[in-house]
């Protein structure tokens, strides 16, 4: 019975290490999602180029949702184009008017899905304006459902439920 709480602790530590690894990169992005209060199954996104090195400009980002959810429609701000037809579970926004500079932020992105996504991950691409090289990073959309959070919750609750059941049996 002690193996389960130990496994849960290892999982939590592993997730924390993975989450902090992106903080060491000179290129980084944050995608923040807010569920619309007026349109069902619609999420509004803000993309932030949180790169610590000024030469990393963001020019593409994509949002992936679980296979049980599909994209119905998108809204795209001026200067950006969207591909929401190639894959029903993936949206790609490309900044055609230039690049989002380090420290920059852009709002006006939205997507309507067939249901509430179980998770939303993202991929962001950066150009190094000094060298011309491209870099890619992956992450989880902030404010959106996250499967690892549910997994940690369930993993943590399982030992408590088992302990409660054991106590009830002992009293009976």
Position 2 scores a pLDDT of 47
Q: So what's the architecture of 22-147 in CATH?
A: Sandwich (2.60)
The full set of domain ranges for the chain reads 22-147
pTM of the model: 0.71
Tens digits of residue pLDDT in 66-91: 999 999 999 999 999 999 999 999 99
Position 167 scores a pLDDT of 56
Tens digits of residue pLDDT in 133-169: 999 999 999 986 545 454 444 455 455 455 555 555 6
Q: Is 58 exposed, middle or buried (0-12, 13-18, 19+ CB in 10 A)?
A: buried
Instruction: Report the candidate in 56, 136, 60 with the shortest Cα–Cα distance to residue 102.
Output: 56
* Separation of alpha carbons 78 and 91, rounded Å: 17
């Amino acid at each position: 019975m002690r193996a389960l709480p130990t496994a849960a602790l290892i999982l939590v530590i592993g997730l924390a290490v993975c989450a902090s690894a992106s903080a060491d990169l000179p290129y980084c992005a944050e995608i923040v999602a807010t569920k619309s209060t007026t349109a069902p199954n619609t999420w509004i996104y803000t993309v932030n180029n949180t790169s610590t090195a000024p030469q990393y400009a963001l020019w593409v980002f994509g949002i992936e949702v679980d296979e049980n959810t599909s994209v119905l429609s998108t809204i795209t701000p001026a200067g950006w184009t969207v591909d929401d037809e190639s894959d029903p579970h993936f949206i790609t926004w490309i900044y055609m008017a230039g690049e989002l500079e380090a420290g920059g932020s852009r709002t006006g992105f939205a997507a309507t899905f067939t249901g509430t996504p179980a998770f939303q991950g993202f991929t962001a691409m950066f150009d190094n304006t000094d060298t011309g090289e491209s870099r890619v990073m992956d992450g989880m959309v902030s404010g959106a459902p996250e499967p690892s959070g549910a997994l940690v919750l369930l993993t943590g609750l399982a030992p408590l439920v088992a302990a409660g059941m054991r106590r009830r049996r002992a009293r009976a």
